[in-house]
Amino acid sequence: MSKHHMNFRYKKWLLSAASLIILLLSACSNSSALESAAPAGGEAGTDLKQVKLIEGWYAKGEDGGYFAALQQNYYKDKGIDMTIQPGGPEVSTMQLVAAGKAEFGISYADEILKAREQGIPVVGILAGFQSTPQVLMYHKGENIQDFTDLNGKTVYIGTAVPYWEYIKSQYNLTDVKEMKYNGQLVNFINDPSSLNQGYITNEPYALSQQGVEVDYLKIADSGYANYADVLFTTEDYLKEHPDVVEAVVQASQKGWSYYLDNYEKVNPFIQTYNPDMTVEAMNYEAVQEKPFILNKDSEANGIGYMTKERWSTLQDQMIKGGGLTKALDVTQAFTTEYLMKP
């Protein structure tokens, strides 16, 4: 390489470096100007508190309130930069939140009680659903009236599902053939006398699309006192960031109120997180879930409300079913302190 060519390259490098420095200085200046112009509270996005919420399953209409709050900027309005991360069969929401991989998660009241007994200090802060939308489905025409009719039947169910342990104990189901539910409905479809766990908001619709008509027993009708779609965090995070918890809870409440009346505007947004699910299926979910979100308690005290009585009853039921070994102080497992009152 010639000396002249080397000098040329060196001068070119100096010019590039000088240009980069000028650009960086300009960017810093512009950034400072933006920061000084940003209103207090982070409305311009400079002071937003970054947090993550992990769903209990893939993105769906059952978590519609949280997605509505994100879409409508209710979190941002409260100074929160929210990321929603879908879950799945291999995702342990409890473990990820407990390990600090996310600040918030979605689960059930019974799962929170189980986690606390195992030494995982999580706290429920909002109950999206006042009662669980879980069901046991059976093929239309089967002679099943209530849970006592399950003796002699095959039931496809997950491992150590708390509501199932309670139902077996409460209804003396000593002659049920339990089969592991792997998330696929083919075994249920092929066995017309069997039952399968599911959600009133989901599987009946999906099966009807395949020409399979079902009826179901609602788990809530068994007397099982579970709250569903419970937003939770850890004791430590609650203690260290009560302002963030309050902001997330109240924005989520507002999101649920919006979603119930405007789900058709939100569901296409949710679908971007879960392209495998149709908007029509999410719209079906939204209609089906409304009675589980709004009841006397939530209408009088606000969406997300919870009571000590329900948590205590649930704990007693879990102990009876073998899901818990002893009673703990349920007031440590949840709080309604951060909810907006109607």
The predicted structure's pLDDT at residue 4: 40
The predicted structure's pLDDT at residue 45: 46
The pair of three-digit structure tokens given for residue 8, joined into one six-digit string: 């040329």
Alpha helices in 134-218 (DSSP H): 162-170, 186-190, 203-209
Give yes or no: residues 164 and 185 share one domain.
Answer: yes
Q: Tell me how far the alpha carbon of residue 40 is from its chain's centroid.
A: 31
pLDDT in tens, 66-94: 999 999 999 999 999 999 999 987 788 99
Domain end: 188, 222, 256, which one?
Answer: 222
The predicted structure's pLDDT at residue 46: 58
User: What is the rounded CA–CA span in Å between residue 200 and residue 203?
Assistant: 7
* Res. 8 pLDDT band, cuts 50 70 90: very low
User: Contact 88/56 with Cβ under 8 angstroms?
Assistant: no
Structural domain total, the chain: 3
Does 40 have pLDDT greater than 90? no
Domain end: 169, 200, 222, which one?
Answer: 222
Does 31 have pLDDT greater than 60? no
Does 195 have pLDDT greater than 70? yes
The pair of three-digit structure tokens given for residue 86, joined into one six-digit string: 């879908």
The predicted structure's pLDDT at residue 42: 39
Residue 336's alpha-carbon distances to 225, 251, 308, 315, 324, in angstroms, are 17, 14, 10, 18, 23
User: What is the rounded CA–CA span in Å between residue 131 and residue 295?
Assistant: 9
Does 34 have pLDDT greater than 60? no
Does 30 have pLDDT greater than 50? no
Q: Which residues pair with 82 in a beta bridge?
A: 51
Give yes or no: residues 239 and 275 share one domain.
Answer: yes
Average the pLDDT over 215-230 and give the result: 96
The predicted structure's pLDDT at residue 66: 98
The predicted structure's pLDDT at residue 159: 84
Does 33 have pLDDT greater than 80? no
Does 32 have pLDDT greater than 90? no
Q: What is the average pLDDT score of the chain?
A: 87
For 339, half-sphere exposure in the C-beta direction (CA atoms, 13 angstrom radius) is: 24
Query: Is residue 148 situated within a structural domain?
Result: yes
* Coil, helix or strand at residue 134: strand
* Coil, helix or strand at residue 109: helix
Average the pLDDT over 89-105 and give the result: 92
Residues 6+ apart with CB under 8 A from 25: none
The CATH number given to whatever domain includes residue 309 is 3.40.190.10
Give yes or no: residues 183 and 53 share one domain.
Answer: no
Q: Which residues pair with 218 in a beta bridge?
A: 135
Give yes or no: residues 215 and 82 share one domain.
Answer: no
Which DSSP string corresponds to 59-75? Answer: S-GGGHHHHHHHHTTHH
pLDDT in tens, 240-296: 999 999 999 999 999 999 999 999 999 999 999 999 999 999 999 999 999 999 999
Query: Is residue 341 situated within a structural domain?
Result: no
| Global confidence as pTM | 0.83
Structural domain containing residue 143: 134-222
Give yes or no: residues 215 and 163 share one domain.
Answer: yes
User: What is the rounded CA–CA span in Å between residue 165 and residue 173?
Assistant: 10
Q: In this structure, which amino acid lies at residue 216?
A: Y
The dihedrals phi and psi of 178, each to the nearest 5 degrees, come to -90, 125
